[in-house]
Structure 1
């Protein structure tokens, strides 16, 4: 499952480790100035992103970076660098947004929201991929993410989360899901638009009004056609008069356009 490190995964790993070391050992004020306190987000808007690069300790950092290391490269390869980066930061900001809604007074640090978004993206694309917990217990990706969602909901709303920012996890999951669905819709819309343009390019009459299309097809000389084509044209003309040009399939409209020819008659 592990892939070679991709450019943005490598940069994010380096940035997270470097900022943690600086904040923990050399520049402790970074923690003070860049930690997320959701109720102060309006006064400190940069913390909606900066908190993602701070961590509460080595174990916190290690857990998040392991997730990024194992699941990030393959997802970046699939989505492409720009979309992967958007997913990462939107999921992280989603963690800040949910913390603002549900835990406004809590101090929040860590890339967990972004990492949960990465895990969700992985599970949405490869739901049946087996992930080995502790290297020995195989769990399919969709089951693992379902367990994570359930645990975050239970511990967050049940009040038994301790010092873990479960609402940040839920925000990362929710924003990642919304972004990936929007991305799929956008890509599908682009494909539909491309197909429509190709169909219009193949139909000389596509830019005409219904009346003009019918008039153009009406110029087809039936007596000059082969018997089979004559029967098909007659059938389609009757159908077009009854249902309108949009009642024909693209293939049927293209056939009538070919029969009409570039000069409007054949």
Structure 2
């Protein structure tokens, strides 16, 4: 274990580094306009083929507290999801959430080409959605305003987040889309970007973690018959037996266990096949002797 890089922590490091660079460029060189044009997301930027801004906007934040909120959310939620998703896949998923949030926000703000979006909130809200769906009834403790402990079940946290972001989308962003004043003054927040990230969290839970099918996305079983020279010879009748480890070479066994642990670190425990799970189960007692 440890041979593969901890992608999630690298991802957080990139977000912090982007914010530090942002502060330096703004404070020392007055380059806020350059950052808004080339790094932040805007409909006018996409119309100028700056497609990278669909992801790069997450590198910028509106201040220290904006970064702290997103960074802590991604860190703690990511840590909780690592055993089930893995470092690499979790980082990839965070980037997809950011891009999806950017796409949905852009579609909502097409009539306001000068609008600008920054921040990694789509990732933090998307990971929150995935965590709450996987652990809806577990009691967790949150520090309200970083001081007051609050115990609740994740499913209620998810409903609250969905209600707040849905209200911001319906009563703040949608009226502005049609040129009307907002029905609720909920501030210049990218509510649609948050919902885009949450949508990815839900889709990943439904179609990857739980394998739910839908009428428009049928699950079909496709069987491919390999050529004869690739087929394994069938075991003789009565020869089937549970998988057993060869414990004569502890070094080779430990190397195989390390490979499996690296796979869990990258792809989550659910990616293991039956043989790999058997190896872990049997090796646990052998290596501890």
Which one has a larger percent helix, Structure 1 or Structure 2?
Answer: 1
TM class, shorter-chain normalised? 0.5 to 0.7
CA deviation profile, 1:245-264 (whole Å, cap 9, x unmatched): xxxxxxxxxxxxxxxxxxxx
The 5 Å alignment of 1:202-213 reads none
CA deviation profile, 1:145-170 (whole Å, cap 9, x unmatched): 11111111111210133111111101
Counterpart in the other structure of 2:241: none
Q: Give the deviation of 1:100 after TM superposition.
A: 1.4
Q: Find the aligned partners of 1:144 and 1:49 in 2 and give their Cα distance.
A: 27
Q: Give the deviation of 1:136 after TM superposition.
A: 1.0
Partner of 2:142, secondary structure, is strand
Q: Give the deviation of 1:30 after TM superposition.
A: 3.5
2:67 aligned with 1:61:
yes
2:128 aligned with 1:110:
no
Counterpart in the other structure of 2:201: 176
What RMSD in Å do the two structures reach over aligned CA positions?
3.0
The 5 Å alignment of 1:32-47 reads 32-42=37-47, 43-47=49-53
Q: Give the deviation of 1:94 after TM superposition.
A: 1.3
Counterpart in the other structure of 1:236: none
CA deviation profile, 1:101-132 (whole Å, cap 9, x unmatched): 21233210000001111111111111123232
Cα contact 1:15–1:53 (8 A) shared by 2: yes
- Whose radius of gyration is greater, 1 or 2? 1
Higher relative CO (CA 8 A, sep ≥ 6), structure 1 or 2? Answer: 2
**Aligned in 2, Cα 1:187/1:81: closer, same or farther, shift over 3 Å?**
farther
Counterpart in the other structure of 1:146: 159
Q: Give the deviation of 1:187 after TM superposition.
A: 10
Q: Calculate the TM-score normalised by the size of structure 2.
A: 0.60
User: 136, 139, 145: which one pairs with 1:127?
Assistant: 136
Matched residue count:
192
Q: Find the aligned partners of 1:53 and 1:170 in 2 and give their Cα distance.
A: 19
The 5 Å alignment of 1:212-223 reads none
Cα contact 2:8–2:87 (8 A) shared by 1: no
Q: Calculate the TM-score normalised by the size of structure 1.
A: 0.64
Q: Find the aligned partners of 1:193 and 1:132 in 2 and give their Cα distance.
A: 45
